[in-house]
Amino acid sequence: MSAPATAVSGAIEKSPGYWAGVGRRFRRDPVAMLALCLVLGLILMALLAPWVAPADPYRASMLRRLRPIGTPGFLLGTDELGRDMLSRLIHGARLSLLMGVTPVFIAFFVGSAIGITAGYIGGTVNTVLMRTIDVFFAFPSVLLAIALSGALGAGIFNGLLSLTVVFIPPIARIAESVTTAVRKIEYVEAARASGASAFTIVRVHVLGNVIGPIFVYATGLISVSLILASGLSFLGLGVKPPEPEWGLMLNTLRNAIYVQPWVAALPGLMIFITSVSFNLLSDGLRSAMDLKA
């Protein structure tokens, strides 16, 4: 609660906008701020990987395979081909984040476009679009991702494509339901009565009201996407060897659990930390924006 004096002066000058309030509430949430720092740290690690990593993530050596954590020169040990685990984990952030975040990012635009179109136009267009979306929604997300990338075959692009298709339906559904609600608000009716074109109404009146909730929902999907993307690589779909990617590393180290169990578990720990951070960040955003959904 702010003091009465500032409240009065605030009202006279310019009342702080909605986003200023969201930012203030977000900054007061220690868990959300911690999550934000973790996410930024992970992104920074991915960007600076070649400079931060102590060794070449591809340099293998048969002489130093599967060293334990704490080996001098190899802080987190070595993998089944003798490559430095720490360097591979740092470099792994690049592909793992790319594979996890990109599908949600693209699906956010495509799904919003479909959902807003369906919600704003309504009628037959809505029925056709949303019934098509329902078909994809009828698949459990893991199954759809595996069906598509299993049929398309391994590879980064095929993995990204499958995951994007998985995340379009849920985002489109949310976008459709918020847009349908906004369309019925009186000032949208007024804008239409005053002769504004559909495009203008959507751009000026609808977008500002619906994009927030859709965005928060999409951020909540990032952690699912990260787990799923690494899961595809874990199954041998998605990223191919010898690229460093956490899911793939977990797969190739699976046979090493009897030799160096804790080294083998490290890539999964990275996926876990990343996924928790994105989840907490999304929760923080949701409560800062005061959304119930």
Partner 1 sequence: MLIYILRRVIYAIPVAFGVSVVCFMLVYISPGDPLTSILPPDASAQLQAEMRRIYGFDRPLPVQYGLWLMKILQGDLGTSIATGRPVAQELGKALGNTLMLAVLATLIGFILGSLFGFVAGYFHNSWIDKLASFISIIGVSVPHYWLGMVLVIIFSVQLNWLPATGAGPGGSDAWKWNWEHVKHLILPAVTMSVIPMGIVARTVRALVADILSQEFITGLAAKGLLDRGIFGHVVKNAAPTALAVMGLQLGYLLGGSILIETVFSWPGTGFLLGQAIFQRDLPLLQGTILVLALFFVTLNLIVDVIQTMLDPRVQRS
Answer whether 210's CB lies under 8 Å from 116's CB: yes
Per-residue DSSP letters for 100-117? HHHHHHHHHHHHHHHHHH
Among positions 69, 121, 147, 211, the unique one binding partner 1 when judged by CB under 8 A: 147
Q: Which is nearer to partner 1, 60 or 142 (CB)?
A: 142
CB of 22 to partner 1, least distance (A): 21
* Part of the chain binding partner 1 (CB under 8 A), chosen from 14-22, 109-117, 193-201, 233-241: 233-241
Q: Nearest distance from residue 157's CB to partner 1, in Å?
A: 12
Copy the structure tokens of residue 66: 């599967």
For residues 55 and 84, the answer to whether their CB atoms sit within 8 Å is yes
Applying CB under 8 A, among 3, 11, 63, 135 the residue interacting with partner 1 is: 135
Q: Is 148 in the site for partner 1 (CB under 8 A)?
A: yes
Q: How far apart are CA 93 and CA 74, in angstroms?
A: 18
What is the C-alpha separation between 268 and 243, in angstroms, rounded? 16
Q: Please identify, among the stretches 47-55, 111-119, 207-215, 266-274, the one whose residues bind partner 1 according to the rule CB under 8 A.
A: 266-274
Spatial CA neighbour of 232 closest among 136, 169, 154: 154
- Give yes or no for residue 289 binding partner 1 (CB under 8 A): no
Under 8 Å between Cβ of 288 and 29: yes
For partner 1, the binding residues (CB under 8 A) are 131-132, 134-136, 138-143, 146-148, 150-153, 223, 227, 230-231, 234-237, 250, 254, 257-258, 261-262, 264-265, 267-269, 271-272, 275-276, 279-280, 283
